[in-house]
Amino acid sequence: MARVILITGTRKGIGRALAEHFLTLGDVVIGCSRSAPDWTHDNYQHFELDVGDEPKVLEMFNAIRKTHGKLDCLINNAGIASMNHSLLTPLDTVKKIFSTNTFGTFLFCREAAKIMRKRKTGRIVNFATVATPLKLEGEAIYAASKAAIVSLTETLAREYADFGITVNAVGPTPIQTDLIRGVPQDKMDRLLARQAVRRFGTYDDVINVIDFYLRAESDFVTGQVIYLGGV
Amino acid sequence: MKNVNAIILEQIESFNENLDTPVDTSKGDDTILFGAGGVLDSVDFVGLILDIEQAINDEYGKHLALTGERAMSQRNSPFRTVGTLAAYIEKQLED
Ligand SMILES: NC(=O)c1ccc[n+]([C@@H]2O[C@H](COP(=O)([O-])OP(=O)(O)OC[C@H]3O[C@@H](n4cnc5c(N)ncnc54)[C@H](OP(=O)(O)O)[C@@H]3O)[C@@H](O)[C@H]2O)c1
């Protein structure tokens, strides 16, 4: 039977690349984002929602349960950033970032685990960032929201182990997507210089780590964060 | 529509199939779920509550969260017996 894989933030960027990767492998992919994607596929179903909107998210999980009766993997990719000095950051921005990155990730982990526990197996992959360990100035809130995801990953790994579910995270370096389009070149150069391997990351770098986490043989790997680029 | 007590007991029966020490439901509403005299460990307890929550939500078409702050802050835990849990759920369904 085909795997059912739920990926958040599939309209564009890394999320879209992940969806295309798993569709190519023959998996059934369910995705979501706030606006509709401009692409489709026979084995793909899209939900237009904000990952922090609990009623809508619950409705979506209900639909997944009724249609597929199972969920093999969840990839919590949806994320937003705001590059700004913390002294210039309004509280509303902070709330928005935490709502998508942290609360959204929590909500999806919780609801996915409720379905996965029935078959005593499941894989959850969350998205961290090198901005946290590198303590990047100008990304205080983004890095904090992702630090919370690292902590969640480590603790949920323990709580969900009883249900056969692994919870891990991947921490990408800068990858050229819309997310980092506004970051000035000199800042980017300095950032890349702090990596062990000094280049931009690619979609394939992220896919490689996620494929590893999703393997059946990886059932003894949980609560881990793999940062790319040697950070 | 099935009544709440029946749904809870039904969920316990099906949950029991995977337990070494099943929950004894012969006392009906007085069946102990959690606390002194209960047989469920905390992981099984979580699993059973989730099953009951799902079954109630499916039957009544609502999204009740049985473990909200309200439940956790009550002096007498609503999770003590089938009867107390049913009463607690019925109250939530009315709201
Ligand atoms: N690119 C990088 O350099 C980099 C580095 C480290 C970590 N990451 C992480 O990688 C993940 C993906 O980033 P990306 O570079 O692919 O970003 P992106 O190109 O900006 O794409 C973000 C995706 O998430 C969706 N999204 C955003 N907020 C959402 C919400 N509240 N609810 C539902 N969907 C939402 C967007 O669609 P809508 O706008 O339609 O909602 C879009 O599909 C993020 O978690 C990010 O933090 C990226």
pLDDT at position A28 over 80: yes
Q: What is the pLDDT of residue B75?
A: 77
Q: Quick one: which H or E segment has residue A226?
A: strand A225-227
Distance A20 CA to ligand 1 centre (A): 16
Name the 3-class secondary structure at A217: helix
Q: Cβ contacts (< 8 Å) between A117 and chain B: which residues?
A: 47, 50
**What rounded mean pLDDT belongs to chain B?**
92
Distance B45 CA to ligand 1 centre (A): 36
* pLDDT digit string, tens, across residues A198-230: 999 999 999 999 999 999 999 999 999 999 999
The position carrying tokens 């609560």 is A223
Which residue out of A142, A160, A203, A213 is catalytically annotated? A142
Q: Outline where A10-163 has alpha helix (H).
A: 13-24, 54-68, 91-97, 104-116, 140-161
Question: What is the C-alpha R_g of chain B?
Answer: 12
Q: Relative to the CA of A14, which ligand 1 atom is closest?
A: 16
Between CA A159 and CA A153 the distance in angstroms is: 10
Residue with the bigger pLDDT between B65 and A210: it is A210
Q: Relative to the CA of A101, which ligand 1 atom is closest?
A: 45
User: Taking the C-alpha atoms of B54, B57, B61 and B62 in order, what is their torsion angle to the nearest 10 degrees?
Assistant: -130
CATH for the stretch A4-225: 3.40.50.720
Q: What share of chain A is helix, strand, coil (3-state, %, to 5)?
A: 50, 15, 35
A166 beta partners: A123
For the four alpha carbons of A8, A160, A98 and A134, in that order, the dihedral sign comes to: negative
Burial class, A66, CB count within 10 angstroms (exposed 0-12 / middle 13-18 / buried 19+) = exposed
Q: Cβ contacts (< 8 Å) between B54 and chain A: which residues?
A: 114
Contact yes or no for A117 and B54 at CB 8 A: no
- In Å, how far is B32's CA from the nearest CA of chain A? 23
Between CA A70 and CA A65 the distance in angstroms is: 6
Closest chain A residue to B53, measured at CA: A114
Give the total number of structural domains in chain B: 1
* pLDDT digit string, tens, across residues A85-124: 999 999 999 999 999 999 999 999 999 999 999 999 999 9
> Averaged over B8-19, what is the pLDDT?
96
Q: Is B54 on the interface with A (CB under 8 A)?
A: yes
In 3D, which of A158, A177, A176 has the Cα closest to residue A167? A158
Between CA A178 and CA A109 the distance in angstroms is: 25
Q: How many CB atoms lie within 10 A of CB B21?
A: 10
Contact yes or no for A162 and B43 at CB 8 A: yes
* pLDDT digit string, tens, across residues A53-79: 999 999 999 999 999 999 999 999 999
Q: Six-digit token pair at B47? A: 């699993």
Residue A15 near residue A5, CB atoms below 8 Å: no
Mutate to test the pocket of ligand 1, among A10, A33, A39, A195 (most ligand atoms within 8 A of CB): A33
Distance from CA of residue B36 to its chain's centroid? 16
pLDDT cut 90: percent of chain A above it = 97
Q: What is the pLDDT of residue B67?
A: 85
Q: Is A142 a catalytic residue?
A: yes
Q: Cβ contacts (< 8 Å) between A114 and chain B: which residues?
A: 50, 54
Between CA A30 and CA A40 the distance in angstroms is: 11
Residues 6+ apart with CB under 8 A from B10: B2, B55
ipTM: 0.89
In 3D, which of B47, B53, B89 has the Cα closest to residue B71? B89
* pLDDT digit string, tens, across residues B26-47: 999 999 999 888 999 999 999 9
Residue with the bigger pLDDT between A183 and B11: it is B11
Distance from CA of residue B32 to its chain's centroid? 10
Q: Is B3 on the interface with A (CB under 8 A)?
A: no
Which CATH number fits the domain that encloses residue B89?
A: 1.10.1200
- In Å, how far is A138's CA from the nearest CA of chain B? 36
- In Å, how far is B29's CA from the nearest CA of chain A? 26
In 3D, which of A45, A53, A56 has the Cα closest to residue A10? A45
Distance A78 CA to ligand 1 centre (A): 4
Distances (CA, A) of A228 to A16, B31, B57: 19, 53, 42
Q: Outline where B1-95 has alpha helix (H).
A: 4-16, 42-60, 69-72, 82-94
Q: Are strands A28-33 and A4-8 parallel, antiparallel or unpaired?
A: parallel
Residues 5-24 of A with CB under 8 A from B: none
Q: Is A199 on the interface with B (CB under 8 A)?
A: no
pLDDT at position B72 over 80: no
For the four alpha carbons of A42, A48, A52 and A57, in that order, the dihedral sign comes to: negative
Q: Is B50 on the interface with A (CB under 8 A)?
A: yes
**Residue numbers of the domain that contains B17:** 4-94
Between CA A62 and CA B61 the distance in angstroms is: 11
* pLDDT digit string, tens, across residues A35-47: 999 999 999 999 9
Residue with the bigger pLDDT between A20 and B62: it is A20
pLDDT at position B74 over 90: no
Cβ of A228 closer than 6 Å to ligand 1, yes or no, is no
Q: What is the pLDDT of residue A92?
A: 98
Residue with the bigger pLDDT between A149 and B75: it is A149
Between CA B67 and CA B76 the distance in angstroms is: 14
